[in-house]
Structure 1
Amino acid sequence: MNLSINLQVRQSQSLTMTPQLLQSIRLLQFHHVELLAFLQGEADGNPLLELVPPAEPAAPAPAEAPSAAPVGDPAPLSGWQDDGAAFSDGTGPEGERHPDAADRLLDLPRAASAGPAPDGASWEERLGEDLPSLHAHALSEIAEVFARADERRLAEVWLADLDASGFLFPDLDLPDEVLPLLRRLQDEAEPAGLFARSLEECLSIQLRRRDRLDPVMACVLANLPLLARRDFAALSRLTGESEGDLLEILAEIRSLDPRPGSAFSLAPPAAVVPDAVVTQDKGAPGGWTVALNPDAFPRLRIRAESGLASARGGEERAFLAQCRQSAGWLQRSLEGRARTILKVADEIVRRQGAFLRHGGGHLKPMTLMDVAEAVGMHESTISRVTAGKYLATPRGTMEMKAFFSGAIAASDGGEAHSAESVKLRIRTLVAAEAAGGVLSDDDIAARLGGEGIELARRTVAKYREALGIPSSVQRRREMKARRLAG
């Protein structure tokens, strides 16, 4: 075989990601805060760019530069009320150290979703509600507990280690001579459980004040994961108590407050800025109107070049030409980003109008591909558009991603059901169980089949576990124990 070097001419096509295209993709996936920080950095490095404050109307640009036109025709948020509940669960507050098992055990509420306020206040008003400061309250409790100034100064050092739940860091290194002071503060400070170093210690403090911290209760608290899994057989071996007694202990533990600091504010709440506002309009197609929220779309203004330098050399002119080109491209990218978000939001609202009117049980199955085909975009583009973007609707402010749900086939060949609506139906069936009528996963699957929802037993079990609902065996045992105790 002869090896030789030669030259060949070949014509081919390839897709190249230009810097401008990469910038447009990045802008598309930025949420409001990231976009604002990015534009501020661009304005700092480009003398022709100026970031327009939200309250300032955009002035006309000079003749030699394109104008910075505002995007969309947004509707104001005033008068919008949160009169419904969100259908997706949130996550625990930032910095929370409680394990998920303990959260399920104590039936702890999840973080703020778009549910209705008791007094009818809007979601934004609830986010801005002033709560007493946790540190200020803890400082007053320290002053009441300790009369000596040196003890107060020592206890005040612990304020920096309080988290949002009112707990001290578990690995806080405390000398032995300081532990009695901490124990005294824990026993006297209000609310009970403040300054605890773990969930177990927090619950122990509250039970000790009720004079209910006996050896059996202490053993149960030391094995909270077993109690969360409702492993009463293992707990019975450890404590020597019957299953009925353990259910009573579980009920008492559930009556405690696992987050004594949650009634106070550790830091100012961060309000979500919706990217689009959905309002009901009987005259619009589908009965809904979608408009961009101007507060979520920072605007740029291009300065006049004549005010930057009176005499320019070749390098200055080249630099300004590059800045002018970069500013124009960035402005066009922002306008394209706004149009894309509005188009996707409008398609989501068109498909989920029944949910906005009637609630979670009417959420229709919808995938990224469905929206991508409808708006003529790629599925990855829809994923970038919906990540971190929010819609302000009459049912609350919700992330666009929350409107997407997998499809479950209908047994009668009718319209498919969304996974979220099926989960809601499973929760409703379990909540309606009567004594002696506990439904197994097979029973639930059969009930759903009778309603036209084709679902396998293992899928029912998966959804039930995702909802934090115990198995039918555990629910039957608890029901029996409650009936015997009552």
Structure 2
Amino acid sequence: MAVSQRLDLRQAQSLVMTPQLQQAIKLLELSNQDLAAYVEDELERNPLLERADDSEREAPSEASADGVDPDRMLDTKEFGDREHLPDAKDSPIDADYDNTYTGNSAGEGSADFGEPSGQANWRVGAGRGDFPDEDGDFQETLTRDLTLREHLEQQLGIEVADPTERLIGLQVIDLIDDAGYVQGDLIALAERLGCSLELVECVLKKIQQFDPVGVAARNLAECLALQLKERDRLDPAMQALLDHLDLLAKHDRAQLMKVCGVDAEDLADMAAEIRSLNPRPGYAFDRTEVQAIQPDIMVYRLPDGSWSVELNSDNLPRLLVNQQYHARVTGKAQSKADKEYLADRLSAANWLVKTLHQRATTILKVATEIVRQQEMFFLHGVKHLKPLIRRNIADEIGMHESTVSRVAANKFMATPRGLFELRYFFSAAIQAADGADSHSAEAVRSRIKELIDKEPIEAVLSDDRLVAVLKNEGVDIARRTVAKYRESLRIPSSVQRRREKSLRSA
């Protein structure tokens, strides 16, 4: 058989992920904090990008009759000020080009909400990412809270006079973690410092007398013992209880009364006092400032009973492309490299502004469809949360399922019933016992918690009993599923709950 060469033509389809499309997909799944950081980086890298000033938009150019310069790229705020969702040429971000948004899509924001007030109003507004007000209180920048290490070092300098013990004390403080516990081997520390273990333990005992009470303990029992000693409540019975904290965790009241030598009433008092102590005294320091979640979507009910779905304008950056600066600099550019750089920066700036607008449009469409399909939840609560998967939303609004998944990640919705992550509204279905509509897994989980919260001490509900109650209510669920949901809610077993209730009621 002869070997020969030949040319063949083959036709195939493939999705090419351009850098621009990759950027659009990346921006779609970012949270508002990550998006703000990304925009800050782009502002530093691209000289043609700048924040939109209200003053600049309040004084429109005279280049056109409607006050918009035709040669200037619209900024993200102006994109969002339109009173309706954009048409097909401003389609939402979707990696699947065959599933792009069209004006006749079933996912219109006004679907089933009534007209005109039921239409999903939306706007894309300014972020709060501008420089801080220069008129702020300067004194606020001069102070900060002490860390746990600094607090202990201050006390060490006052309470310990011997230089050697101070040196050892600094090394011991280095071993204390954020919770206030010593994490390290004192024997290894003594060998490293060339001193005796007795001297290191002596310094440790002095540090254990510092504020906060219970700091520098080597385990939980020692931490609680230091606090009880400070209250003058560390008697032999309490020490025996600390030595058997595992029994306390199991709520084994009979064994605890035996090892402590007390009756049920005294044991209940001792357990209550243990619960009043602080197992992590160091957490009073080194606290990380809690960042409040800023919602991406605002949902509220209108007087006529319809729903309004809006983007939170405070979380969206306002950017514009400075065309005047580009024209001025381009006219002075002489080399080919300079002109190519400016053209590349202009293209990148225009693409970013358009991508931010597409991102906002996509989030709004997904949120609007979620509100439409989960309307009973907003009206009546979690018991009426419908089973919903991402494919249901994707089919209704004409997008790819992966796009809906990216939108649901790290996005939050503020509703009359509270703040929820978009993922919360997607829940698996549990079949009904009587052939009726399926139940949402989240609704079933909420019902299990409600039943356990209301159970009396003399009739603690086992998992089998919970299955029977739910089946009477029309939920066909297996025992292992009930146990899985109960454990996800961090609810102990019926045996542990019965022991705990008995201990508290004694």
TM over 0.5: yes
Deviations 1:431-467 (A, max 9, x none): 3223432222111111111111111111111112222
Aligned-partner residue type, residue 65 of structure 1: R
Gaps of 5+ in 1: 75-129
CA displacement at 1:250 relative to structure 2: 5.3
CA displacement at 1:350 relative to structure 2: 2.6
CA displacement at 1:7 relative to structure 2: 2.0
Aligned-partner residue type, residue 407 of structure 2: V
Residue in 2 that maps onto 1:21: 21
2:151 equivalent to 1:139: yes
Residue in 2 that maps onto 1:91: none
Partners in 1 of 2:408 and 2:288 — Cα distance? 28
Aligned-partner residue type, residue 42 of structure 1: E
Residue in 1 that maps onto 2:475: 453
Residue in 1 that maps onto 2:401: 379
The 1:220–1:360 alpha-carbon spacing in structure 2 relative to 1, beyond 3 Å, is farther
CA displacement at 1:34 relative to structure 2: 1.9
2:183 equivalent to 1:170: yes
Partners in 1 of 2:26 and 2:486 — Cα distance? 38
Query: Where do residues 33-44 of structure 1 align in structure 2 (5 Å cutoff)?
Result: 33-44=33-44
The 1:450–1:368 alpha-carbon spacing in structure 2 relative to 1, beyond 3 Å, is same
Structure 2 residue aligned with 1:320, among 322, 342, 346?
342
For residue 439 of structure 1, give the secondary structure of its aligned residue in structure 2: coil
Residue in 2 that maps onto 1:5: 5
Contact in 2 for aligned 1:58/1:69 (Cα 8 Å): no
Residue in 1 that maps onto 2:302: 281
For residue 301 of structure 1, give the secondary structure of its aligned residue in structure 2: strand
Partners in 2 of 1:24 and 1:340 — Cα distance? 11
After TM superposition, the structure 1 stretch with the greater mean CA deviation from structure 2, 153-162 or 335-344, is 153-162
Residue in 2 that maps onto 1:260: 281
Contact in 2 for aligned 1:68/1:331 (Cα 8 Å): yes
Deviations 1:252-289 (A, max 9, x none): 5333222335556724332322212222323363xx21
Partners in 1 of 2:55 and 2:7 — Cα distance? 63
The TM-score with structure 1 as length reference comes to 0.72
Deviations 1:114-139 (A, max 9, x none): xxxxxxxxxxxxxxxx9x94638973
2:75 equivalent to 1:65: no
Query: Where do residues 72-471 of structure 1 align in structure 2 (5 Å cutoff)?
Result: 72=80, 133=145, 135=147, 139=151, 143=155, 146-147=158-159, 165=179, 167-168=180-181, 170-171=183-184, 175=190, 176=197, 177-187=199-209, 189-190=211-212, 192-196=213-217, 198-211=219-232, 213=234, 228=249, 230=250, 232=252, 251-262=272-283, 266-283=287-304, 285=306, 288-303=307-322, 304=324, 305-309=326-330, 310-471=332-493
Deviations 1:370-414 (A, max 9, x none): 222222222211111111112223333332222322222221223
The TM-score with structure 2 as length reference comes to 0.70
Contact in 2 for aligned 1:203/1:258 (Cα 8 Å): yes
Residue in 2 that maps onto 1:474: 496
Partners in 2 of 1:243 and 1:336 — Cα distance? 69
Corresponding pairs, count: 424
Contact in 2 for aligned 1:133/1:266 (Cα 8 Å): no
> Greater Rg, structure 1 or structure 2?
2
Contact in 2 for aligned 1:364/1:418 (Cα 8 Å): yes
CA displacement at 1:207 relative to structure 2: 3.2
CA displacement at 1:297 relative to structure 2: 1.2
For residue 308 of structure 2, give the secondary structure of its aligned residue in structure 1: strand
For residue 449 of structure 1, give the secondary structure of its aligned residue in structure 2: helix
CA displacement at 1:365 relative to structure 2: 2.5
Q: What percentage of aligned pairs have identical amino acids?
A: 43
CA displacement at 1:368 relative to structure 2: 1.8
For residue 436 of structure 1, give the secondary structure of its aligned residue in structure 2: helix
For residue 289 of structure 1, give the secondary structure of its aligned residue in structure 2: strand
Aligned-partner residue type, residue 294 of structure 1: S
Partners in 2 of 1:54 and 1:275 — Cα distance? 22
CA displacement at 1:188 relative to structure 2: 5.0
Contact in 1 for aligned 2:152/2:211 (Cα 8 Å): no
CA displacement at 1:27 relative to structure 2: 0.9
Partners in 2 of 1:356 and 1:153 — Cα distance? 61
